[in-house]
Amino acid sequence: MDSTVLIQALVSGLLFGGVFALAAVGLTLIFGVLKIINFAHGEFLMLGMYLSFWLFSTLGFDPFVSLVVTLPVFFLVGAVIQRCLIDSVLQAREEMQILLTLGLSLFLQNLALTLWTPDSRTVNVSYVTSVVKIGAAYVSMPRLAAFISAVVISLGLYLFLKTTELGRAIRAASDSREGALLVGIDVRRIYWITFGLGTACAAAAGSIITPFYFTSPYAGGIFTLTSFVVVVLGSLGNFVGALIGGLIIGVAEAMGEVFMTGSMKQVVTFVIFILVLLFRPEGLFGRRRS
């Protein structure tokens, strides 16, 4: 096989892996602090796509510019959902938490179907066919812009968690809820802020892929599954692991697309998932239990 094809696939995989990483960062942040897996995560990504689509269609907002609306809107949406729904099951059994987030996922998907029909929609930005050359690979401008946006948002969130007082409080609540309470941290406040941040990350990932990905009520499902695989690969609750895991899965899917046809590229992702569960269940960056 021509090495140029492999280089092209590698670069494309890394770029789309950045989007996977941003979505997974939101999921792993929520799990790391609230200890709950949000199976509605992909539906927030889908709603972020619709918000950017309508902002583009009605007001002419570029999808990347629409981030200034998407991020705060879905931070508030996530905060409200956490206070009104998620908070009630945090101390419940895991089955109840799973059922609630699965029910939320079905509700949001069917709400989108009712409001906007199953028809796929596209955002036709002026630069959709523009390409830049990176080494031996040609990369579309929308994908490159999506990768840069994902990296900037992820890096901004990482610096926020590392350098600000609120970020340190979030990390303290993640390490030990009881310890955070003992030093005077309002853990319930931290929970809704964290869920809001995780939801905003998912919606932002949706916004930045609208120039090259179909917007439909079903768009979020595959991202929920892929984000979950990325989070498990990078170790549950590990921020840096989610970033690296996203890039790995992006490259794996791109290579799968080279050697397989159609949707069969997804097989590579789930083979990796199964292998990790079998041989490294704590993830690539987790600590082995003795």
For residue range 203-254, what is the model confidence (pLDDT) as tens digits? 999 999 999 999 999 999 889 888 988 998 888 778 888 899 999 999 988 8
Q: Compute the distance between CA of residue 263 and CA of residue 245 in angstroms, rounded to an integer.
A: 20
Mean pLDDT, residues 276-283: 83
Residue 210's closest CA among 257, 145, 131, 138? 145
Mean pLDDT, residues 67-83: 97
**Sign of the CA dihedral with 21 first, then 215, 228, and 277 last:** negative
Which amino acid would we find at residue 128? V
Q: Compute the distance between CA of residue 94 and CA of residue 37 in angstroms, rounded to an integer.
A: 9
Q: Do the beta carbons of residue 172 and residue 180 sit within 8 Å?
A: yes
Is the pLDDT at 56 greater than 70, yes or no? yes
Is the pLDDT at 146 greater than 80, yes or no? yes
Inter-CA distances, 6 with 11, 112, 187, Å: 9, 38, 48
Question: Residue 164: is it exposed, middle or buried by C-beta count within 10 angstroms (0-12/13-18/19+)?
Answer: exposed
pLDDT of 155-202, one tens digit each? 999 999 999 999 999 999 998 888 999 889 999 999 999 999 999 999
Q: Encoding tokens for residue 102?
A: 């699965």
Confidence of residue 48 (pLDDT cuts 50, 70, 90): very high
Which amino acid would we find at residue 81? I
What mean pLDDT is reported for the chain?
90
Q: Encoding tokens for residue 83?
A: 């206070």
Angle ∠(16,18,21) on CA atoms, nearest 5? 120
How much is the pTM? 0.93
Looking at per-residue confidence, does 165 or 137 come out higher?
165
Is the pLDDT at 287 greater than 80, yes or no? no
